[in-house]
A and B are shown apart, each in its own frame.
Chain A
Amino acid sequence: MCLAVPARIVELEGDMAVVDAMGNRWKAKTTLLPEAKLGDLVLIHAGFAISLVDEEEAKKTWQLLAEIAEFDETPNRVSG
């Protein structure tokens, strides 16, 4: 629940945004981050941008998330 994903704002109209990260695009809102602009990298949590982030931090997090996704998909995960 604490998880926030860094994403780039690729569309912005008012506080309605489309953000892009890890090969996906989805809708988010910038209501909580009025200073966010088109092109900014932001942290998205539960559909809302909560903070700006820098490129380095975003890349590290994307890499981590990709590793986690890969790890979780490995077939020999102990189940049940």
Chain B
Amino acid sequence: MLDRIQKAQSLINAACKKLGRQINIMEVCGTHTVAIFRNGIRSTLPRKLKLLSGPGCPVCVTDQGYIDTVLQLADREDCIITTYGDMVRVPGKDGSLETKRSKASVKVVLSSEDALQLARDNPNKMVVFVAVGFETTAPATAVVVKEAAEANIDNFCILSGHKLVVPAMRALLSGKNNNIDAFLCPGHVSVIIGYGAFAEIVERFARPCVVAGFEPLQIIQGLSEICQQLSAGKPDLKSVYSAAVTERGNTTAQEIIAECFEPADGYWRGLGQIEKSTLKLKDKYSRFDAFRRFDITEVPGEEMSGCRCGEVLCGLIEPAQCSLFEKSCTPRTPIGPCMVSSEGACAAWFKYGRERKSEQ
């Protein structure tokens, strides 16, 4: 295995030397950011190869307005809020879900099924599921919405914060910060959507897109493949995660998403409004849509003062460049979601990268 790593590394070095200029590769997925740090991959790469964190952490890209909405619902006596663990500590204007947990109205769940079961067990409460995640997680929400519909479980609804990865990549390339040369694409999102979903990024924007899993060899091989493509001037679509990712993806999961959801315009922290980038429940399931049940209009919220998560998410700055980083914003006292989430760039930098200051 060591020789495969070394081979990949020498290919990276050769390609970078040939290109002679700075190369910026965006790691779309937060789990990649963490894996890259944890395995010390950054320090093995040539100086001219820069890895940019991307908007691939679903908690991090959730707009402040959504978070404030969740906190307001948590205050209601008639609601139980169910959520995946990562969202619990994200601060809003009025504390976080964690500070409201003592009211017994907030429950952390490992699966959407647990949320639905809570609705069955608590018929006098409205159970709201905080449905945050990309295409990897959206099918799990769709399954329980269908189940709730079939079983007529009326005291259940979801607040959809589900987002789509490819529209975000498109928005990044169409925006002002288009110094992204290539993408290292997320592994488990690709299990669902198939690596073929990135073809339009390659074709329309001529950027290499390579899907890798989370194992260090895969990541290095993925980076090596990207560098070779850049060096040859031949952007292409590839997956090195053959164990779990196919070109078409999981069609059962895609079908269930399509049955329950439709793409809608939505706000992303850092990227603003992106067309058809979020998932909204279809009209036939509207009674399970918390936005409609509670008559909530989603408006972008104000970021917490001084927080620069938005810029971190677009790869415009590194966490160390935020004046709050390590000082008032730490994993114990987070100000923005990038420090809270286990996949947030700021949390990764804090945990693994603190001896190094911003790579200039």
Could you tell me which A residues sit within 8 Å of B by CB distance? 1-4, 28-29, 31-34, 43, 45-48, 50-54, 56-57, 60-61, 64, 68, 71, 77-80
Contact = CB atoms under 8 A, between A and B. Distances in A.
B24 interface: no
Contacts of A68: 38
Interface stretch (B13-21, B47-55, B134-142, B302-310): B134-142
B252 interface: yes
A2 B253 contact: no
A47 B113 contact: yes
Nearest to B333: A80
21 contacts: A1-B58, A1-B136, A2-B29, A2-B31, A3-B31, A3-B188, A29-B113, A29-B143, A33-B250, A34-B252, A43-B244, A46-B112, A46-B137, A47-B112, A47-B140, A50-B136, A51-B245, A51-B250, A52-B244, A53-B244, A80-B331
A56 B243 contact: yes
A33 B246 CA distance: 14
Given A47-B113, A64-B214, A4 B140 contact: no
Contacts of B136: 1-2, 4, 45-46, 50
A57 B243 contact: yes
B111 A46 contact: yes
Given A1-B59, A64-B214, A80-B332, A46 B140 contact: yes
A77 B256 CA distance: 42
A28 B132 CA distance: 19
Q: Max chain A CB contacts within 10 Å: which of B113, B243, B245, B354?
A: B243
Interface in B217-258: 243-245, 250, 252-253, 256
B65 interface: no
Contact of A1 (B84, B187, B243, B253): B84
B191 interface: yes
Contacts of A80: 330-333
